Amino acid sequence: MNKVAIVGGTHGNEFSGIYLLKKWRQNPAKIQRDSFEIQTVFANPQAFEANKRYLDCDMNRQFGLNDLNNPELANYEQSRAKAINAQLGPKGEAQSDFIIDLHNTTSNMGPSLILLKSDAFNRQMAAYVKSNMPDAVIVLEDQIEMVEHTFLCSIAEQGVIVEVGPQPQSVVRQDVLDWMEAMTGHILDFVDLYNRDEVPELPSSFEAYKYHETLKLPEDENGERIGMVHKNVQDADFKPLRNGDPIYTLFDGTEVCWDGDYEAYPHFINEAAYYDNNLAMSLAKKVLVEV
């Protein structure tokens, strides 16, 4: 891995990555390691200026191959996506070997590392991060091929999302910032050790949460929202949810229970940005990953 990129501000109201980039640009030694070159990218400065997630559309869904190659897709985020793809990619033959994209969530997800692949490199990286940061949570979104993902970090052959919360939009919290800085540091350390063939002995396996499905908030027949996440589920990211557990409370007070046939691990619970699509949470299955 010769070229590594750290991206912040893909969403303009997720402040931790944006302030960390500023900090690292003033003090580049914090993110430099001997075995690779590193660059930082402020993905969506206009959205940050406007204090919004995005101006025209969610930037972190604009990196599908067809979309990148479609000149008709020309709004601000689509244009920035093409520019970032030119800078770090192009997807399929990227100049960058590894991209770390920094995100915040309003959900109580703690310091989460989202992997889009579960190859040996990612498995070792996750084991290393968890060994050095016991709070870290590993999420697998490897249900499709890397190239099929439309996330920014899918430009490169390897890419991860560092997703830390809970943090309201447009706020910077020290606990969340510190977690993000620590996790990014461990990832960079791992890449350096990997490059030098000096990865230490790692646990033989670790727990992770493998994405399974996404649930919607309760709606009436007109598509109007009629309920909210149940108070038992709020903030209970990565706690088990079982068939019959209350999951929503309708505004009229009615409790709605979950009708599922597996032990689910909710995350991205009540994420502010997902209300646009009326999403309530993602559900994962707990898995043991062999390193």
Which residues are at the interface with a copy of itself (CB under 8 A)?
19, 22-23, 26-27, 51, 106, 166, 168-175, 177-178, 228-231, 234, 249, 251-252, 270, 272-273, 275-276
How would you list the strands of the sheet with 246-250, edge to edge? Answer: 227-229, 246-250, 255-257
- Catalytic residue from among 77, 141, 163, 181: 163
C-beta closer to a copy of itself: residue 251 or 262: 251
| Residue positions forming the annotated binding site for Zn(2+) | 11, 14, 103
SS3 track for 237-270: CCCCECCCCEEEEECCCCEEECCCCCCEEEECCC
Q: Are 210 and 142 in contact (CB under 8 A)?
A: yes
C-beta closer to a copy of itself: residue 226 or 289: 226
C-beta closer to a copy of itself: residue 179 or 194: 179
Measured between alpha carbons, how far is 264 from 284 in angstroms, rounded to an integer?
A: 6
C-beta closer to a copy of itself: residue 26 or 66: 26
- State the CB neighbour count (10 A cutoff) for residue 285: 15
Measured between alpha carbons, how far is 217 from 63 in angstroms, rounded to an integer?
A: 27
Measured between alpha carbons, how far is 149 from 116 in angstroms, rounded to an integer?
A: 8
Measured between alpha carbons, how far is 148 from 154 in angstroms, rounded to an integer?
A: 8
Chain centroid to CA 265: 16
Q: How far is the CB of 276 from a copy of itself (least distance, A)?
A: 8
- Burial code (b: 16+ CB inside 10 Å, e: under 16) for 113-149 equals bbbbbbeebbbbbbbbbbbbbeebbbbbbbeeebeeb
C-beta closer to a copy of itself: residue 23 or 242: 23
Q: Are 4 and 96 in contact (CB under 8 A)?
A: yes
| Residue positions forming the annotated binding site | 11, 14, 103
Is 163 annotated in the active site? yes
Q: How far is the CB of 32 from a copy of itself (least distance, A)?
A: 17
Active-site positions read: 163
